[in-house]
Structure 1
Amino acid sequence: MSDSSRPPALTSPPADYGDLRAVYVNCTLKRSPQLSHTQGLMDRSIALMRSHGVSVDSLRLVDHDVALGVYPDMREHGWERDAWVDLWPRVRDADILVVGTPLWLGEVSSQLRVLIERLYAMSGMTNESGQYVYYGKTAGMLVTGNEDGVKHSAMSTLYALQHIGYTIPPAADAGWIGEVGPGPSYLDEGSGGPENDFTNRNTTFMTWNLLHTARRLKDAGGIPAYGNVREQWSQGERWGFDANPEYRQPGDDAQN
């Protein structure tokens, strides 16, 4: 495509995002107010969203006494306390979820695994359209560390999030790792993390793709409630799945 035939670059956001809500869940192992390098990267994305009017909620999972398990309220399963019951509405009401994690031995933190399990615990709930509760919401991920594993951790985490119903936009992850092995972390003086063009570009792309996707989903009323409503399936609706796979339109080549 020649330069003259390329569409003009947008010079301003294509929509208003002021009615969107986002929740950032930092799965660092450090309780507040300890310095979290993952929070440092998440704050860059948070600032971008807030600059366009998005209501942003941010929390560290480790600050809360969240029980382990895959049920909505683990107090009903032997746990004395479960802060997830209070955190859940903050996640449920957000149009956008961004999870952050440090890397340990090339993997996500234990707190992120807890988060995924507790999100999964709620995945049988339904929204106003009768779909699974995360339908119509979008999610992304940010990673920091001193060892390889950014893409590996994003692969498994974003798979889990889409499996329970989140819509994952293009380029929905970004991260920063220093030199492999002991060395400076993202916010350490001289690390180069906050100035890294690759990380800053990917963080920007992730943030905008989340905004665009959330805007489109909200404007469209979410994912169409056809072919994906559990109760209707239970009542016998099959949305064409019962069609005879051997059926051929007139003139079809039977060998195709």
Structure 2
Amino acid sequence: MDRSENPHRFDDLRALFVNCTLKRSPEISHTEGLIDKSRAMMEKNGVTTEVIRAVDHDIAVGVWPDMTEHGWEADAWPSLYERVMAADILVLCGPIWLGDNSSVMKQVIERLYACSGILNEQGQYAYYGRVGGALLTGNEDGVKHCAMNILYSLQHLGYTIPPQADAGWIGEAGPGPSYLDPDSHAQENEFTNRNTAFMTWNLMHMAAMLKRAGGIPAYGNQRSGWDAGLRFDFPNPEYR
């Protein structure tokens, strides 16, 4: 369908959801249950989506782009990074443990950071022009704390964060049902469903705006230019 007929089509966008559950496939992931809600909305509006369950991949620990160059025998991250870079939208998703993000989430963010020094063709950091969001599930407190960590990390690496770019579900504090458990009634939760819908649409809108504008304007933020001596009007006498 042509966008002139329906302005809310996003057939030129790709979205990647990285599920940072601690459970290997095919074990049920409650986080993936919430991912499926956002993913279905994107696909209905033309976005090509993909889900990676990070724990299924042999991702090395470290903060270099390819850890096989630093003593590790294997590292799946370089191939996963290609899939990250193919996406206009990146949503980091995971469970809450002890009020914080999972160890897998921390590892994924560290590996994203490992590639943050790579530049694009305009001399900007490579993640410029992409948008990021966060989805979280659990049966204890911590949704906002976890989202703050994820969204801060993504913007620091160069991602654009649209308004209300996070959503989550938690049950009652303490042991209890998880998102996909029938007695949780999580999938009928008005607060979670509204926030998930708003997050999904804001990610699509912002990603489309950036893509059709050619990304973030490449002036005043070019690492290659700064390294070459440009100071972009920075008011410091020693640079004049």
Q: TM-score range by the shorter chain?
A: over 0.9
Select which of 97, 120, 125 maps to 2:113. Answer: 120
Structure 1 residue 162 corresponds to structure 2 residue 162: no
Question: CA offsets, 1:110-156, max 9 Å, x none?
Answer: 00000000000010011121100000000000000010000001011
Question: CA offsets, 1:185-229, max 9 Å, x none?
Answer: 000012011110100000000000000000000010000000000
Q: CA deviation at 1:231?
A: 1.2
Structure 1: distance between partners of 2:58 and 2:102: 16
Q: Which residue of 2 aligns with 1:85?
A: 78
Structure 1 residue 145 corresponds to structure 2 residue 161: no
Structure 2: distance between partners of 1:13 and 1:71: 43
Q: Which residue of 2 aligns with 1:234?
A: 227
Query: Which residue type is aligned with residue 202 of structure 1?
Result: N
TM-score by length of 2: 0.95
Q: CA deviation at 1:106?
A: 0.4
More helix by share: 2
Structure 1: distance between partners of 2:60 and 2:6: 41
Select which of 50, 66, 77 maps to 2:59. Answer: 66
Structure 2: distance between partners of 1:51 and 1:37: 22
Q: Which residue of 2 aligns with 1:31?
A: 24
> Which structure 1 segments of 5+ residues have no match?
1-11, 245-256
Structure 2: distance between partners of 1:39 and 1:241: 45
Which of structure 1's runs of 4+ aligned residues deviate more than 3 A? Answer: 12-15
In structure 2, do the counterparts of structure 1 residues 182 and 43 end up closer, same or farther at CA, with 3 Å as the change threshold? same
Equivalent residues of 2:11, 2:48 under 8 A apart: yes
Report the secondary structure of 2:188's partner residue.
coil
Q: Which residue of 2 aligns with 1:6?
A: none
Query: Which residue type is aligned with residue 29 of structure 1?
Result: L
Select which of 70, 76, 85 maps to 2:69. Answer: 76
Query: Which residue type is aligned with residue 144 of structure 2?
Result: K
Q: CA deviation at 1:14?
A: 3.5
Select which of 40, 48, 55 maps to 2:33. Answer: 40
Matches within 5 A, 1:197-216: 197-216=190-209
Select which of 43, 51, 57 maps to 1:50. Answer: 43
Structure 1 residue 96 corresponds to structure 2 residue 89: yes
Report the secondary structure of 1:190's partner residue.
helix
Question: CA offsets, 1:38-61, max 9 Å, x none?
Answer: 000011000000011111011100
Cα root mean square deviation, aligned: 1.2
Q: Which residue of 2 aligns with 1:185?
A: 178
Q: Which residue of 2 aligns with 1:175?
A: 168
Structure 1: distance between partners of 2:221 and 2:6: 32
Percent identical residues: 63
Equivalent residues of 2:15, 2:50 under 8 A apart: yes
Structure 2: distance between partners of 1:63 and 1:201: 30
Structure index of larger Rg: 1
Equivalent residues of 2:134, 2:147 under 8 A apart: yes
Structure 2: distance between partners of 1:16 and 1:220: 17
Bigger CA drift: 40-49 or 230-239? 230-239
Structure 1: distance between partners of 2:184 and 2:235: 58
> Which structure 2 segments of 5+ residues have no match?
none
